[in-house]
Amino acid sequence: MCSVKSSKAIEALSLVKLSEPCQLVVLISGNGTNLQAIIDACAARTFPAKVAAVISNEPAAYGLQRARDAGISTHVIDHRKFDRRTEFDGRLKNLIDTLEPGLVVLAGFMRILGFDLTEHFLGRMMNIHPSLLPDYPGLNTHARVLADGMNEHGASVHFVTSELDAGPIILQKRIPVQPNDTPSTLAERVHQCEYEIYPRAIAWFATGRLHLKTSIAYLDGAPIKA
Ligand code: GRF
């Protein structure tokens, strides 16, 4: 006979089963280890999201193979085939719209997106960045952190706006910088942070706990402070 507790648990499980997972479109340019962490998280029966498709601007990105191995459809839009950035953005926007995702996830996507595209997906596009934003936007974050003698570093998930790496912060994880750290040892530890915080932020969004409203990210109705 089922106890009250276990029948409630069964009810909760069937609710999770009944509600549709949030469909993700993940944009990559390279190795795709964050994509892999997201695919792995989505494999859990109770995870509220599913990777519906992966898009890369780099035909040789290894992340495309990771997607194929997981049975996820892949698309390539090679930025070199477009004369103007706006044409590339337009093609990307149309493809994503066709796929009708609940959330667009940038995971090591190395193209700067223009205003029209970021406005179109405002509040439903996230990025992961290897620094404690607003510090160290842009490239080579690990080397710059070391050159500045910082004693802390980390990773940030944020909503995407038209300003590079400057959208409202959703979640960060910090790590201490060790005296013998190199850019590659730091990169490795920051990656581990990313694999933890990105799926968590996606799950918040997918369950309706996370919103962007008037340039502020809210979790459970309260503004998120970096
Ligand atoms: C990550 O460090 C991410 O923060 C940055 O690009 C890197 C992508 O790595 N935007 P991977 O392709 O997910 O391995």
Q: Among 62, 75, 71, 76, which residue's Cα sits nearest to residue 34? A: 62
CATH number of the domain that residue 29 is part of: 3.40.50.170
- Write out the two tokens for 130: 């290897």
Entry pTM: 0.91
Per the domain annotation, does 182 fall within a domain? no
| pLDDT at site 225 | 85
Q: Mutate which of 128, 156, 158 to test ligand 1's pocket (most atoms within 8 Å of Cβ)?
A: 128
Count Cβ atoms below 10 Å from residue 134 Cβ, excluding itself: 12
- Mean pLDDT per 10-residue section of the chain, whose length is 226 residues: 39 55 98 98 97 98 98 98 98 98 98 98 98 98 98 98 97 98 98 98 98 97 89
Q: Which domain, by its residues, includes 75? A: 7-135+154-174+190-217
From the CA of 187, give the closest atom in ligand 1.
2
Domain count, the chain: 1
- Write out the two tokens for 153: 């570093």
Place of tokens 């044409």: 87
| pLDDT at site 226 | 64
Q: Which residues does a 6 A CB cutoff place in the pocket of ligand 1?
A: 30-34, 107-108, 128-130, 191, 194
The C-alpha atoms of residue 175 and residue 173 are separated, in whole angstroms, by: 7
